[in-house]
Amino acid sequence: MKTFLKVIGGILVCLVLLLLVLSITGFEPRGGTPGLWLKGQAVTTPVADWSFTDKIPVIEVQTNTWYMIPHSVHTFCVAYNGQLYLTSVYRAGLTYPNGRNWNSNVARDPHVRLKIGDQVYDRTLSYVTDPAERAVVIQLKAKKYPQQKIAPGSTINVFHVLDN
């Protein structure tokens, strides 16, 4: 029994040390693989105009999991009327918030960290339900990302980025 407890204790110590190292280094998403913490220069002031993101193809979003280890992924963004929006496409058969870990995390806790270039922004996401606002953002997304083909029957979720 003592040996078993020592082995379990050793494993737990190693996991804590691994998480400590990863929290310092970040372990950001690479390619299609999700990551953990996003690191960069923190921007704490409100952003009056997010249109600078029109030139940035992909940003990173870090969400908070229920087990308290961050989950970060690459995602698309669109600026509309100076405001920033994130989108998430679900092929037919998947629904919000199921099917995407980051969407499920946002449904539970809307506080996120965005990484744009080398800067990070702690913000809150709000699910957009207004049909007119959604339609404009989706239209702007199609214009910004013409290479992304959305299959018939897909659902596009739209999130509005708010200052904390």
| CATH ID of 2-163, from 1.20.1050.10, 1.20.1440.230, 3.20.20.140, 2.30.110.10 | 2.30.110.10
Distance CA 53, CA 39 (A): 19
Distance CA 10, CA 158 (A): 44
Cα–Cα–Cα angle for 76, 82, 85, rounded to 5 degrees: 25
For 79, the token pair is: 């600026």
Q: Give yes or no for residue 7 having a pLDDT over 70.
A: no
Dump pLDDT digits (tens) for 54-98: 999 999 999 999 998 899 999 999 999 999 999 998 877 665 555
Residue 78 pairs in a beta bridge with 85
- Regarding pTM above 0.75, the answer is yes
> What is the 3 state secondary structure string of 4-56?
HHHHHHHHHHHHHHHHHHHHHHCCCCECCECECCCCCEEECCCCCCHHHHHHC
- For residue 25, the model assigns a pLDDT of 57
